[in-house]
Amino acid sequence: MSKLQYTRDNRLLFTKEMKKEYTILCPMMLPIHMKFLRDILIKHGYKVELLDTTHTQIVNEGLQNVHNDTCYPALLVIGQLLDAIKSGKYERDKLALIITQTGGGCRASNYIHLLRKALKKNDMGDIPVISFNLNFMEKNPGFKITPGLLVELVYAVLYGDLLMLLSNQTRPYEINPDEADRLTDKWETKLSRELSGRTILNNKKFRQSMEQIVAEFADIPVKRVEKIKVGIVGEIYMKYSPLGNNNLEALLQQEGVEVDVPGLMDFIIYTCDNGATDARLYGINKGVSILTTLLKKYLVKMHNMLIDAVKTQSCFHAPSSYDHIKSLVQGYIGTGAKMGEGWLLTAEMIDLVNSGVDNIICTQPFGCLPNHISGKGMIRKIKGNYHNANIVAIDYDPGATRINQENRIKLMLSVARLNLLKRSANGKP
């Protein structure tokens, strides 16, 4: 057994010896993306297990170990990790946990401290917690984000964004049921082998793979009829996690809706861009700004490859570029509003309406101040400028009933159907 090592502030370290012996448990957020991220970490010598549990005991664990004033994503993430530890499935003295940490003003940066507090409360303080961050916030001898690992993670995020986009744009129109899901599964398996293999990834192969994926989805037989389109925006965990949003995408798909979920890469570029914003507006972190600006340029370049790949098939709607999305918030909210999803949330709603997705669900944890400002707080102004916008904000919380959430969503869909009928009657697309 590895000897436990601590920092001066009494933080338990994840050591090099632990890397060889310990299983790292990772909470779930994006089902496709997270599988790719897991495979890459395994390739780099980490023993990672992705948690896909969704039962009610997760919420119970969170309620018992996290103050109920803390936002719902923290409650779910910590509850899922504690539930896994207590399940008896894993060797208790060879476990580690991993959680993301952005370093911004959102409470999400403190999840890691809440998790450690919960571990100590349950006499599990000897389980190390790894901070996954790009801000040099916490360092561990046994876990390092190298340039090679970072590049592979970028490929993984973009592959995940592409499969999510194409499957959502194909599924509602497919003639043969589940064909889009089968093709998604096929490419998940193929890309997992590619990302976890010894082959050195490069941009040329990446571009070819993306174009092949787009071409194969374009070959799926479809019947293009006008359907309701619904965009999903909001707090990042609520927007993407089926556990957090009560399988929102599945609910909408059952209603015959085309779902549009903005990709993860936009959020990643946004977090890099914040460094330059701090330097421009406040004159701080100028050194960090140079590094983050260079990283942003690289990420924008890679994201544009995805956009160009989607554009090779005219049957698909390509996502907007980051710079275009950022330009949309002028007159709505300043780019200095960057707590949580900040101005990006407002921009995503405007971009969706501009691209013909009039119906939007803004998912937010109850009491999330950044989301109530840049999400719910912007709805009235967006509707004032876009009279066709049909936006509903849905709060998620342990005390919020699923039936109430679904009733509000179905009310929004009934308005969407009425608007669709009116457009059809007037001969408008």
CATH label of the domain that carries residue 69? 3.40.50
Beta bridge partners of 230: 259, 359
Q: What percent of the chain has pLDDT over 90?
A: 73
Residue 130 structure tokens: 């790894």
pLDDT of 8: 87
In this prediction, residues 393-402 reach a mean pLDDT of 90
Q: Is residue 180 part of a domain?
A: no
- pLDDT band at 331; cut points 50, 70, 90: very high
Q: How confident is the model at residue 77 (pLDDT cuts 50, 70, 90)?
A: very high
User: Residue 102: pLDDT above 80?
Assistant: no
Is residue 218 situated within a structural domain? no
What is the number of other CB atoms lying within 10 angstroms of the CB of residue 327? 13
Q: Do 129 and 247 fall into the same domain?
A: no
**Is 184 inside a domain boundary?**
no
Two structure tokens written together for 139: 């360092």
Verify that 235 and 132 share a domain, yes or no: no
Question: Looking at the predicted structure, is the pLDDT value of residue 36 above 80?
Answer: yes
Residues 123 and 247 grouped into a single domain: no
pLDDT tens per residue, range 246-265: 999 999 999 999 999 999 99
- Looking at the structure, tell me whether residues 128 and 253 fall in a common domain: no
| Euclidean distance between CA atoms 345 and 239, whole angstroms | 11
Q: Are residues 252 and 120 in the same domain?
A: no
Give 362's strand partners. 233, 393
**How far does Cα 137 stand from its chain's mean position?**
21
Q: How many domains, the chain? A: 2
pLDDT band at 2 (very low <50, low <70, confident <90, very high): low
Residue 339 lies in a domain: yes
> Does one domain contain both 105 and 242?
no
| Same domain membership, residue 358 and residue 233 | yes
Report residue 211's pLDDT band, with 50, 70 and 90 as the boundaries.
very high
Q: Where a domain ends, among 88, 112, 143?
A: 143
Specify the pLDDT at position 1. 53
* C-alpha to C-alpha distances, 279 to 63, 225, 347, 374, nearest whole angstrom: 39, 48, 22, 22
Are 167 and 33 contacting, i.e. CB atoms less than 8 angstroms apart? no
Question: From CA 40, how far away is CA 199, in angstroms rounded?
Answer: 12
For the whole model, what pTM was predicted?
A: 0.93
Is 268 a domain residue? no
Domain stops at, among 92, 113, 143 = 143
Report yes or no: 229 and 358 within 8 Å, Cβ to Cβ: yes
Q: Which of 116, 143, 170 is the last residue of a domain?
A: 143
* 3-state secondary structure string across the chain: CCCCCECCCCCECCCHHHHHHCEEEECCCCHHHHHHHHHHHHHCCCEEEECCCCCCHHHHHHHHHCCCCCCHHHHHHHHHHHHHHHCCCCCHHHEEEEEECCCCCCHHHHHHHHHHHHHHHCCCCCCCEEEECCCCCCCECCECCCHHHHHHHHHHHHHHHHHHHHHHHHHHHECCCCHHHHHHHHHHHHHHHHHHCCCCCCHHHHHHHHHHHHHHHHCCCECCCCCCEEEEEECHHHHHCCCCCCCHHHHHHHCCCEEECCCHHHHHHHHHHHHHHHHHHHCCCHHHHHHHHHHHHHHHHHHHHHHHHHCCCCCCCCCCCHHHHHHCCCCCCCCCCCCCCHHHHHHHHHHHHHCCCCEEEEEEECCCHHHHHHHHHHHHHHHHHCCCCEEEEEEECCCCCHHHHHHHHHHHHHHHHHHHHHHHHCCCC
- Collect contacts of 413-421 with beta carbons under 8 A, ≥24 apart: 413/228, 413/230, 413/255, 413/257, 413/359, 415/359, 415/390, 416/228, 416/230, 416/358, 416/359, 416/390, 417/228, 419/358, 419/388, 419/390, 420/226, 420/228
In a domain, 239, yes or no: yes
Say how far apart CA 1 and CA 14 lie, in whole Å: 13
The pLDDT value given to residue 371: 85
Q: Is the pLDDT reported for residue 429 higher than 80?
A: no
Question: Does 138 reside within a domain?
Answer: yes
Determine the pLDDT at residue 287. 72
Q: Are residues 92 and 235 in the same domain?
A: no
Residue 200 pLDDT: 62
pLDDT: which is higher, 133 or 170: 170
* Percentage of the chain exceeding pLDDT 70: 97
Q: Are residues 133 and 236 in the same domain?
A: no
Question: Beta-carbon neighbour count of residue 251 at 10 Å?
Answer: 19
Q: What is the pLDDT of residues 262-320, one digit of tens each?
A: 999 999 999 888 888 888 888 777 777 788 888 899 999 999 999 999 999 999 999 99
Note down the domain range covering 75. 16-143
> Which of 153, 17, 75 minimizes the C-alpha distance to 368?
75
Residues 231 and 145: their CA atoms lie apart, in Å, by: 33
CATH number, domain containing residue 379: 3.40.50.11900
Average pLDDT rounded to a whole number, residues 227-238: 95
CA distance 357 to 319: 12
- First-residue to last-residue Cα distance in the chain: 66
Q: Check pLDDT > 60 for residue 327.
A: yes
* pLDDT at 147 > cutoff 90: no
Q: How are beta strands 258-260 and 129-132 bridged, if at all?
A: unpaired
Mean pLDDT of the chain: 91
Q: Is the pLDDT of residue 244 over 90?
A: yes
Q: Decide if 197 is inside a domain.
A: no
